[in-house]
Amino acid sequence: MRLPRSIAGWTMAVFGILAIIMGATGLIRPESMLSSLGFEVVPAAERAAGDYTLVFIIASSMASFNMGIYYLVAVWTEWRAFYLFTVVFRLVTFTVFTTLVLTGEAPGRFFGVAAWEGIGALATGIGLWLDRRHRVFSNP
């Protein structure tokens, strides 16, 4: 794979690689993802029938892994429209996840997920702006 060709591309590559790592971690050890987010980890023997918490974490981890791949494909092709798309929707995700913490629906440590999305959106947005300002690429 070639190196990113823009500032925005570097932000997408970094977040893509991190998403792959976190996704793989959740696929292999879903309990570790739960505890890192501040959720209680209930031993398998104590889980109620119909408790699909680990299945949901595994599904979310697979989505994270896939999104990391999408990010790297976008970097490889320098698909700047996708970069801009991620800025908008990562800000939406930041807002939703922050609201969950503020309303008490999620533990405080879950704000780390919101921060991850917000920081990623800002980093890529600033990268797009800098690239345009320095005419790295003329079309976002």
Q: Which residues, including other chains, have CB under 8 Å from residue 114's CB and lie 6 or more apart? A: 93, 94, 97, 98, 101
Q: Is the pLDDT of residue 139 over 60?
A: no
- Residue that is written with structure tokens 């790592």 in the block: 21
Cβ contact 11:82 at 8 Å: no
**Confidence band, pLDDT 50/70/90 cuts, at residue 137:** low
Helix (H), strand (E) at residue 110: none
Between 2-16, 38-52, 66-80, 106-120, the lowest mean confidence (pLDDT) is in 38-52
Q: Residue 104: which region, alpha, beta or left (left: phi > 0; alpha: psi -120 to 50)?
A: left
Q: Is the pLDDT of residue 114 over 90?
A: yes
Distance CA 64, CA 43 (A): 24
Q: What is the pLDDT of residues 8-30, one digit of tens each?
A: 999 999 999 999 999 999 999 99
**Confidence band, pLDDT 50/70/90 cuts, at residue 79:** very high
pLDDT score of 36 = 86
Domain spans, the chain: 7-133
